[in-house]
Chain A
Amino acid sequence: MIEERPLFIPEQNIVLEHNGDIDPEVLEDYSKIEGFTALNHVLTEMTPPEVIDQVSRSGLRGRGGAGYPTGLKWQTVAKAPGTPKYIICNGDEGDPGAFMDRNVMEAYPFKVLEGMTIAAYAIGASQGFLYVRAEYPLAVQRLKNAIRQMEKHNLLGKNIAGTPFSFDVDVRLGAGAFVCGEETALIASIEGRRGNPRPRPPYPAERGLFGCPTLINNVETFANIAPLLRKGAEWFASIGTEKSKGTKVFALSGRIARAGLIEVPMGTTLREIVFDIGGGIPDGKAFKAVQTGGPSGGCIPSDYLDMPVDYESLLKLGSFMGSGGMIVMDETSCMVDVARYFMEFCMSESCGKCVPCRVGTAQMYQLLTKIVNGDATLNDLALLESLCDLVRNTSLCGLGQGAPNPVLSTLRYFRDEYIAHIVDKRCPAGVCPVHKREHQEVNA
């Protein structure tokens, strides 16, 4: 049983505001909580450059993980020569332990669409696509329903709200490939081709969908737009840290008392997230690490619990903001096993196009398997490290470039666990096959 103590929650809701108050399938409910006021205001009283200026000054950065300044991206697409222009909402969330975008699409479909429509007005797009993974049927259903209702109320389609601006949105389903969250692979997938990434530049802002300038933002980024424009750039910029503004939605999971979605201002410390909001580690176990950033991320040990969470500090620790998954681990988790889990994920999700990712992830997975089985030598560890360096620096897209991160970060903070497996043939957490073998030998 989880102790029902009052939550000390420094949470602040922008994306998840009015959580649970409205019916996500009823447009009138969304209107009641100031829905579409930003869109109406933008269409009738602001020019596209003014909208972009507001977004730039707010300091909003891409919530898909890399943290590219949203205003700058919009400006680039707006200025890119060529028509038509397209806008894509990336809802292909696929990190293990991540369910932020799912919740946002299921609970706030109108808000996502309002953000997209404002973005379309700002950059001059007339067609948008919502790329949602097929594993999220409720999100797909609610987004399609929201599109229909908005069309009925003249908030999508021709001459929106009586203005000359027209914009249509269609939903496209992902077919289960993680790599399709990578923007160039996603574009290929919408075009009806195999979801393989291609070298950038040219970036989608210049040559994207069907060769046209294309804006791609994450679900959560779009969900920030309406509140940002309703309350102003200064208000938004007053939340968060110097370089990371606003809030971030995280999906807390793993060995934690209260798993679930939280939204906190940027700069909230890991300690506040794990212990104050998440209620700490259950069953009296000790905290060991928190994994952020999914398969491209890393594990942060207890020494850094007081580090404020923002884009820069996570990178400095060898991890990554990512889309917002946070997997908490306690003393019963083996860090080598964790690294092996994520490597297996990258290996099976690699598209197979470039050699370092296709072969490198398979080789690294084999080496990690050898280590957890107690069959590895220190030479294998050296090879593993050199492959990490190669795959990170030579892979074509972010999937391969990020794949070594879970290994590199666990090596950085938990190297002794690797050595224990290799030299002492022992798993400190007692979960790996090498541990079971050791016990069999003792008993025999």
Chain B
Amino acid sequence: MTVVTLKIDDRDVSGRDDETILEIARENGIVIPTLCYLEGLSIAGACRLCLVEVKGTSKLLPACATRVSEGMEIHTNSERLTQYRRTIIEMLFAEGNHICSVCVSNGHCQLQDAAVALGVDHIGVPYLHPHRHVDASHELFGIDHNRCILCARCVRVCDEVEGAHTWDVGVRGIEARVVTDFSTPWGDSDTCTSCGKCVQVCPTGALFAKGKSAGEMTKQSEFVEYLVAMRGRRS
């Protein structure tokens, strides 16, 4: 492990060479939007919102998965990146059925927050209006697939922190869904411990506790970071 110095958005910053661009940026108050990333969970690199420009490569690199190195020059906020991020958010809205006004997470939703922060004021791609289901078979929780953005935080927290691996992803492409056990109803699950970690880490209103009405579902995902730190980081 060595200490390196680098530039993010023309600011001189320093970090260890086993840290990622995202970690260093956040330490220094530089905001890079993310949706699939959650401190304490493994890196998915799936939402592509945290892509940044790094001098010396024509490829955009995911800040969550890219380690810093000496002399790196990073730009996190160009017009091109903002445009890509907006379109990605628009794609997420168009892909599902997101109706904020009736959603349990209205006002506490990370997809909604990202859209506001990036100035997404209309959806420029056609809505796909998919037919998706709601699984309310679990005693305490429910999942509304219409609101799922497939960040797979639930899959990771269930496997990596709870150790149950109830959640996984089934099917592929635009048909992909998070599933419990062998794509059987959540309420019938033999593996689910009903710990509710998946609900707490879900960035949208897809996973919710029963009994919540519109706007009432607030979530605390910070426990993951705390639990992982207390158990001793493995990686």
Are A358 and B150 neighbours in the complex by a CB distance under 8 Å? yes
Q: In the complex, what distance in Å separates the CA atom of A395 from the CA atom of B45? A: 10
- In chain B, positions 174-218 with a C-beta closer than 8 Å to chain A are 174-176
Least distance between A96 CB and chain B CB atoms (Å) = 16
Shortest beta-carbon distance, A343 to chain B, in Å? 12
Complex CA gap A386/B86 in Å reads: 13
Interface residues of A in 150-178 (CB under 8 A from B): 177
Which residues of B are found within 8 Å of A358, using beta-carbon distances?
95, 150, 173-174, 176
A32-40, A64-72, A258-266, A359-367: which lies at the B interface? A359-367
CA distance A21 to B96 in the complex (A): 57
User: Once the chains are docked, how many angstroms separate the CA of A359 from the CA of B90?
Assistant: 10
Residues in chain A near residue B128, CB distance under 8 A:
359, 362-363, 366
**Chain A nearest CB, measured from B157 CB (Å):** 17
* Segment of B3-11, B46-54, B136-144 engaged in the interface with chain A: B46-54
A67 to chain B, nearest CB (A): 17
- Evaluate whether A352 and B84 lie within 8 angstroms (CB atoms) in the complex, with A194-B168, A359-B94, A394-B60 already known: no
Interface size class of A (residues with CB under 8 A): 20 to 34
A40 to B125, CA, bound (A): 60
Asked if A338 CB lies within 8 Å of chain B CBs, one says no
CB of B88 within 8 A of CB of A394, answer yes
Residue numbers in A under 8 Å from B65 (CB-CB):
199
Instruction: Check B171 for interface membership: any CB of A closer than 8 A.
Output: yes
Q: Which residue of B lies closest to A356 (CB)?
A: B48
In the bound assembly, the distance between CA atoms of A393 and B80 in angstroms comes to 11
Whether B172 and A349, one on each chain, are in contact in the complex, defined by CB atoms closer than 8 angstroms, is yes
A351 interface residue (CB < 8 Å to B): yes
- Bound together, the chains give a CA A199 to CA B64 distance in angstroms of 10
Q: Which residues on the B side are within 8 Å of A351 (C-beta)? A: 172-173, 176
Name the distance in Å between A176's Cβ and chain B's nearest Cβ: 10
Chain B interface category by residue count? 35 or more
Q: Is B126 in contact with A177, judged by CB distance below 8 angstroms?
A: no
Q: Does A390 contact B (CB under 8 A)?
A: yes
| A396 in contact with B91 given A350-B173, A362-B173 (CB within 8 Å) | no
In the complex, whether B224 has a CB less than 8 A from a CB of chain A is: no
B15 contacts A by Cβ under 8 Å: no
Contacts of A387 in B (CB 8 A): 87, 125
User: Which residues of chain A are within 8 angstroms of B92 by Cβ–Cβ distance?
Assistant: 355, 359
Judging by beta carbons under 8 Å apart, are B62 and A356 in contact?
Answer: no
The chain A residue sitting closest to B95, CB to CB, is: A359
With contacts A359-B91, A363-B125 taken as known, whether A199 is within 8 angstroms of B62 at the C-beta atoms is yes
Closest to B87 in A: A390
- Whether the Cβ atoms of A177 and B172 lie closer than 8 Å is yes
Report Cα–Cα, A194/B165, bound state, in Å: 13
Contact call B88/A356, Cβ cutoff below 8 A: yes
With A351-B176, A358-B176, A396-B46 as contacts: A194 and B124 at CB distance below 8 Å: no
B94: A residues at CB distance < 8 A = 359, 363
The CA-CA distance from A353 to B44 in the complex, in Å, is 9
Q: How far is the CA of A356 from the CA of B169 in the complex (A)?
A: 17
CB nearest to B176 among chain A residues:
A352
Least CB distance from A99 to B in Å reads 24
Bound CA–CA A169/B63 (angstroms) = 38
| Nearest Cβ on chain A to B211's Cβ, whole angstroms | 31
Over the window 352-385 of chain A, the binary record of Cβ atoms lying under 8 Å from chain B Cβ atoms (1 yes, 0 no) is: 1111101111110010000000000000000100
Shortest CB–CB separation between residue A384 and chain B, in angstroms?
Answer: 11
B 18-76 contacts with A by CB, 8 A: 43-48, 51, 59-60, 62, 65-67
CB atoms of A396 and B45 under 8 A apart? yes
* Complex contact A396–B48 (CB within 8 A): yes
The reply on A347 being an interface residue by CB < 8 A is: yes
| Distance between B81 CB and nearest chain A CB, rounded to angstroms | 9
> Which chain A residue has the least Cβ–Cβ distance from B155?
A194
Which residues on the A side are within 8 Å of B150 (C-beta)? 352-353, 355, 358
List residues of chain B with CB within 8 A of the CB of A393: 59-60, 84
With CB as the reference atom, state the residue of chain A lying closest to B92. A355
- Flag if A354 contacts B47 (CB, 8 Å): yes
- Interfacial chain B residues near A348, Cβ < 8 Å: 172-173
* Contact across chains for A355 and B125 when beta carbons are under 8 A apart: no
CA distance A70 to B195 in the complex (A): 49
CB–CB B124/A383 < 8 A: yes
Q: Is the CB of B47 within 8 A of A194?
A: no
- Specify which chain B residues have a CB less than 8 angstroms from the CB of A355 in the assembled complex: 46-48, 88, 91-92, 95, 149-150
CB-defined contacts of A148 to chain B, threshold 8 Å = none
Cβ–Cβ < 8 Å partners of A271 in chain B? none
B72–chain A nearest beta-carbon distance, Å: 14
Considering only residues 166-202 of chain A, those with a C-beta below 8 Å from chain B are 177, 179, 194, 196, 198-199, 201
Partner of B174, one of A350, A356, A386: A350
User: B169: which of A194, A361, A394, A396 is its contact (CB, 8 Å)?
Assistant: A194
Contact call B174/A352, Cβ cutoff below 8 A: yes
Q: Is B48 in contact with A394, judged by CB distance below 8 angstroms?
A: yes
- Nearest Cβ in chain B — how far from A263, in angstroms? 33
**Across-interface contacts of A390 in B (CB, < 8 A):** 84, 87-88
Point out the residue from A194, A196, A354, A366 that lies within 8 Å of B48, measured CB to CB.
A354
Whole-angstrom distance between the alpha carbons of A251 and B67 in the complex? 41
What residues of chain A lie closer than 8 Å to B88, measured between beta carbons?
A: 355-356, 390, 394
- A347–B171 alpha-carbon span in the complex (Å): 13
Which B positions have Cβ atoms within 8 angstroms of A?
43-48, 51, 59-60, 62, 65-67, 84, 87-88, 91-92, 94-95, 124-126, 128, 149-150, 152, 168-169, 171-176
- 4 nearest CB pairs, A to B: A352-B176, A199-B45, A359-B91, A350-B173
Identify 13 new A-B residue pairs, CB closer than 8 A, beyond the known A199-B43, A356-B88, A362-B128: A199-B62, A352-B172, A353-B46, A354-B45, A358-B95, A359-B91, A359-B95, A361-B174, A362-B173, A366-B128, A387-B87, A393-B59, A394-B60
